[in-house]
Amino acid sequence: MCFIPFAFKITYKDTQTRARTGILQTERGIIQTPVFMPVGTQATVKTLTPDEVKSLGAQIVLSNTYHLYLRPGHELIQKAGGLHKFMNWEGPILTDSGGYQVFSLAPLRRVEEEGIWFRSHIDGSEHFFTPEKVMAVQMALGADIAMTLDECIPYPATYTQTRLALRRTTSWAYRYQSALKAALAEKEQAIFGIIQGGTYQDLRRQSTRELIELDFPGYGIGGLSVGEPKEIMYEVLDYTVPLLPVHKPRYLMGVGSPDCLLEGVARGIDMFDCVLPTRLARNGTVYTSQGKLVVRNAAWAQDFSPLDPTCNCYTCRNFTRAYVRHLLNAKEVLGIRLTTIHNLFFIFNLMKNIREAIENNCFRAFKHEFLQYFKD
Amino acid sequence: MCFIPFAFKITYKDTQTRARTGILQTERGIIQTPVFMPVGTQATVKTLTPDEVKSLGAQIVLSNTYHLYLRPGHELIQKAGGLHKFMNWEGPILTDSGGYQVFSLAPLRRVEEEGIWFRSHIDGSEHFFTPEKVMAVQMALGADIAMTLDECIPYPATYTQTRLALRRTTSWAYRYQSALKAALAEKEQAIFGIIQGGTYQDLRRQSTRELIELDFPGYGIGGLSVGEPKEIMYEVLDYTVPLLPVHKPRYLMGVGSPDCLLEGVARGIDMFDCVLPTRLARNGTVYTSQGKLVVRNAAWAQDFSPLDPTCNCYTCRNFTRAYVRHLLNAKEVLGIRLTTIHNLFFIFNLMKNIREAIENNCFRAFKHEFLQYFKD
């Protein structure tokens, strides 16, 4: 394979919003942005084969360092030839740093200057994540895009808490650049810094400034979608995104409801990931052009129309609400497969329509019309 | 659709055993026998789409009257346009009568001359199955092949118990023929009688004689694989099958381990069904040419070879034991999908090889060689 460096090129800029389309070039293929990355927490996008994930429209998959480190272990995946080979996904992979999972899933965490102590949510065993450690794990996995370790705080958090977490995140980011720059370049892995600062404008500004100095090839915006009202998240994006370098990809971490995708794109975001579409699917809720529909409900027991009559996905072409509801009700695996297929198709299709709207300079109208009918 | 009557034609007869190949003709396509029917208990072969079931090699699917009657209800399925349309399976469907499930799953059953009282295993509600009722349910479902209601008894059972159950089964079979013959013919549904008689030769003979008088288009052999040693089952087949009409299909109900399939075919059986291959798969056990392999075991954690190196199924072409084990271990749905695909492929492939061996008059040698390596 010839060497294709990591690169990002903006292709269209919307004139009415900050929306833009671009091409993200990685060794394993190009990614058209704005892009939604489905989450393959444990080396699988839940319920789907990699072929299905690809045919639904995925260009890149996200996987979780925390989960894979604990099970089956990054050494095992390295022995298997890396995560791509292990899970048989040939496209690009982004791995997170595990920061978010350590703070949201693992019990008994203690943050030190050196790193974070935590217990496994699986067997209670104690572990220590440092910036160097999580980078080594992500290198063993063979991620195309890796993320720096960050300290995630919940919403609401005080100014002091937020500032402390931000300082730690920046100091950890420094350690990547000093220790690992050479190793990373050799592995052809790109690493994104993560901007923290909660909902405080001056802290977001400070975080952005400090990370820009470190000259990462891309930036994650972290610490959002952690319980704050959507309007506050949009406000943070309004004042944070303009501070970021124009020619580098911007990744809004953990965000993925249809309305947030549209609002994020409008504010200049290029990349998203979220478990929401697949998690909702497993709980029996599907997206339609009219908004969310709880297909699990008895109301649909005798409804022989597709989940969304305007949808062209495999599920909608072949099965009825009544059948999908029966499967969910009877706890049949096929039920959550069919809803997962539908929801991911819906999101990938939305992203495709967003890109086309930007290219045709009608993104604002498209967004307005979509949100008029889509009730979240 | 032009009218294609139910018919069975024997195409090859093995000269060394009772094995034979045949073609079973139904309105929804022809079936090459000996055939294995995968079980779609709740209107889905667990974890798979109908497309996958077909592409793995299924010619006909079995579904359970008891389960569908309770949930979602046969009236709902009838409203959906029948079971084929509801589950989007275009090939033939055989439905059982619910007899076996009532006796193995449902609490509080009371057998009367008229029928069987039982409680739903889902919500405890009380229900009454009569021969006429289960036939009406199977007609509503639109089965291509339906089965008569039988009284199933466990192994071991006394002679008196067995004789009583047999008498009831025959008397119920009579009620089909008198009341429903016309209705069935109009619906183009075939109905098979079920031979009971436990492990008593004279009772099997009596049951067979009585059912032959009723001139069913095919015969199920019931009450086997209910806990008796395999040798006893083979013995029952040895003395029962020769009593059956040569030109009608013989269906050994609930049997499906590779060795039993071979031994059944050798004794003249044309049709089989069993949850074993799919249930084993969900428990993390897969078939290989060397016998069963518990891929869930830690022994395979770092084994980067396919489940069965000689297998050409989707799972074996794309994934390793280590990956499948990780998925099962992490309770990921894809794990049980991949093992299910593998096990069904294995069984369908075995049946194909069996048919070819019979056609080439080398079935006995094929069976011998297979069983030499396959350790159950």
A292-310: per-residue pLDDT in tens? 999 999 999 999 999 999 9
What percent of chain A has a predicted confidence (pLDDT) above 90? Answer: 90
3-state SS string for chain B: CCCCCCEEEEEEECCCCCCEEEEEEECCEEEEECEEECECCCCCCCCCCHHHHHHHCCCCEEECHHHHHHCCCHHHHHHCCCHHHHHCCCCCEEECCCHHHHHHCCCCCEECCCCEEEECCCCCCEEEECHHHHHHHHHHHCCCEEECCCCCCCCCCCHHHHHHHHHHHHHHHHHHHHHHHHHHHHHCCEEEEEECCCCCHHHHHHHHHHHHHCCCCCEEECCCCCCCCHHHHHHHHHHHHHHCCCCCCEEECCCCCHHHHHHHHHCCCCEEECCHHHHHHHCCEEEECCEEEECCCHHHCCCCCCCCCCCCCHHHHHCCHHHHHHHHHCCCHHHHHHHHHHHHHHHHHHHHHHHHHHHCCCHHHHHHHHHHHCEC
Q: Nearest CB to B330: which of A71, A79, A326? A: A71
CB contact under 8 A, B87 and A330: no
Go through the domains of chain A in sequence order and give each one's CATH number. 7-274 (3.20.20.105), 276-376 (no CATH)
ω into residue A242 within 30 of 0, thus cis?
no
CB contact under 8 A, B81 and A322: no
Q: Hey, which residues 88-127 in chain A have their CB within 8 Å of chain B?
A: 88
Mutate: best of A334, A338, A340, A341, partner B, most B CBs <10 A: A334
- pLDDT confidence of residue A3: 54
Phi, psi (degrees; rounded to nearest 5) at A279: -70, -45
- pLDDT confidence of residue A1: 40
Give B283→chain A minimum CA distance, Å: 14
Give A77→chain B minimum CA distance, Å: 9
B54 touching chain A per CB within 8 A: no
User: Sign (positive/negative) of CA torsion B88, B90, B96, B100?
Assistant: negative
CB contact under 8 A, A336 and B337: no
- List the single residue in B with minimal CA-CA distance to A48: B334
Give A318→chain B minimum CA distance, Å: 7
B96 is catalytic: yes
Cα-to-chain-centroid distance, residue B321: 29
Phi, psi (degrees; rounded to nearest 5) at A87: -100, 0
Least confident interval from A140-149, A174-183, B192-201: A174-183
Pick A46 or A104 by higher pLDDT: A46
B180-193: per-residue pLDDT in tens? 666 766 667 899 99
B245 touching chain A per CB within 8 A: no
What's the token pair of residue B275? 């949850």
B250 touching chain A per CB within 8 A: no
Q: Which residues of B touch A121 (CB under 8 A)?
A: none
- List the single residue in B with minimal CA-CA distance to A83: B323
Mutate: best of B333, B336, B340, B341, partner A, most A CBs <10 A: B333
Catalogue the active-site residues of A: 96, 273
Phi, psi (degrees; rounded to nearest 5) at A275: -85, -10
Give A304→chain B minimum CA distance, Å: 7
Give B335→chain A minimum CA distance, Å: 9
Phi, psi (degrees; rounded to nearest 5) at B199: -110, 25
Return the SS3 of A198.
coil
- C-alpha distances (whole Å) from A97 to each of A150, A152, A306 are 8, 11, 39
Q: Yes or no: say if B165 and B152 are a contact pair by the CB < 8 Å rule.
A: yes
B43 touching chain A per CB within 8 A: yes
pLDDT above 80: residue B179: no
- pLDDT confidence of residue B178: 72
DSSP per residue over A253-300, as a string?
A: TT---HHHHHHHHHTT--EEE-SHHHHHHHTTEEEETTEEEETTSGGG
Q: What is the ipTM of this complex?
A: 0.97
B66 touching chain A per CB within 8 A: no
Q: Nearest CB to A42: which of B80, B332, B337? A: B332
Q: Shortest CA distance to A289 belongs to which of A310, A315, A272, A270?
A: A310
Q: Yes or no: say if B64 and B74 are a contact pair by the CB < 8 Å rule.
A: no
Burial of A40: CB neighbours in 10 Å, binned 0-12, 13-18, 19+: buried
Place of tokens 């979602």: B72
With vertex at residue B183, the alpha carbon angle to CA B182 and CA B187, rounded to the nearest 5 degrees, is 115
Q: Yes or no: say if A95 and A141 are a contact pair by the CB < 8 Å rule.
A: yes
The DSSP bridge pattern shows strands A29-33 and A20-26 to be antiparallel
Q: Which residues of A touch B319 (CB under 8 A)?
A: 88
A275 vs A282: CA distance, rounded Å: 11
pLDDT above 90: residue A216: yes
B13-33: per-residue pLDDT in tens? 999 999 999 999 999 999 999
Pick B2 or A6 by higher pLDDT: A6
Specify which residues B36 forms β-bridges with: B272
A155-183: per-residue pLDDT in tens? 999 999 999 999 999 999 999 877 666 67
Q: Hey, which residues 285-344 in chain A have their CB within 8 Å of chain B?
A: 301-302, 304, 318-320, 322-323, 326-327, 329-330, 332-334, 336-337
Please report, in angstroms and rounded to a whole number, the separation of the first and last CA atoms in chain A.
Answer: 44
Q: Which residues of A touch B43 (CB under 8 A)?
A: 323, 326-327
A277 vs A62: CA distance, rounded Å: 14
